Amino acid sequence: MSLLPGILKGLATTARTALRPTHTAEYPDVAPDLPPRSRGVIALLEENCTSCMLCARECPDWCIYIDSHKETIPATTEGGRDRQRNVLDRFAIDFSLCMYCGICIEVCPFDALHWSPQFEYAEVDILDLLHEKERLGGWMASVPPPPALDEKSAEPAEVAAANKPARGTGLVGGGSPGGPGARMPRTVRPRPAGARGATPPVPEPEPPADGDAS
């Protein structure tokens, strides 16, 4: 008799739960609805990479491998100097070591690395989780566009520097002379007579006496 209340309570819980809608995701038949900032895999935009090695040096797991060589670019004008640039030969990420911290994406100064919500890249062999630049570049198609800036947010430093007027124009904010963006003339106040560096007052001329020739 002592077990009967517990059994009835369990049956009531089961009946109450059976009538509720299920939250089970029918994966892989139904694609999951991922958050917009999901960290699935790291995608590579190869044309933006300059082989600066900054991402590889800052990676805590040392799972990024980069190989490059220097290429000489001839001068475009007569008498000019030849230039050199780094050409990317290999860019690989070992996702068996990656901890998905995102440091490589944050430190990249040229936006060559991006988060992709793609997560279906499991392999049977752990050695196959070393993905080269060809596969990393293929994931760029799944990278979502960046969110729009808030209307009340501060203007980016790059845009502010581009819109800054040239020195000597006397304009603020790109306004025209006399317009809403023009700089107001500076008011110069005279210094007191006793102040250091003050200009001595000029005496006023006396009026001519009576009978003098005008």
Cβ 85 vs Cβ 71: under 8 Å: yes
Q: How many domains does the chain have?
A: 1
Task: Report pLDDT for 199.
Answer: 56
CATH number (domain holding residue 131) = 3.30.70.3270
Domain housing 94: 28-73+82-141
Please check whether residue 2 lies inside any domain of the structure: no
Task: Report pLDDT for 80.
Answer: 83
Task: Report pLDDT for 192.
Answer: 55
Task: Report pLDDT for 22.
Answer: 76
Please check whether residue 98 lies inside any domain of the structure: yes
Please check whether residue 92 lies inside any domain of the structure: yes
Q: Which has more pLDDT, 15 or 150?
A: 15
pLDDT(128) > 90 = yes
Please check whether residue 68 lies inside any domain of the structure: yes
Please check whether residue 7 lies inside any domain of the structure: no
Please check whether residue 16 lies inside any domain of the structure: no
% of the chain with per-residue pLDDT over 70:
76
Q: How far is CA 138 from CA 37, 41, 45, 97, 120, in A?
A: 19, 11, 9, 21, 13
Query: What does the alpha-carbon distance between residue 42 and residue 114 come to, in Å, rounded to a whole number?
Result: 6
- Given pLDDT bands bounded at 50, 70 and 90, which one contains residue 214? very low
Task: Report pLDDT for 161.
Answer: 86
CA 91 to chain centre: 22
Assessment of whether the complete model's pTM goes beyond 0.85: no
Strand partners, 115: 42
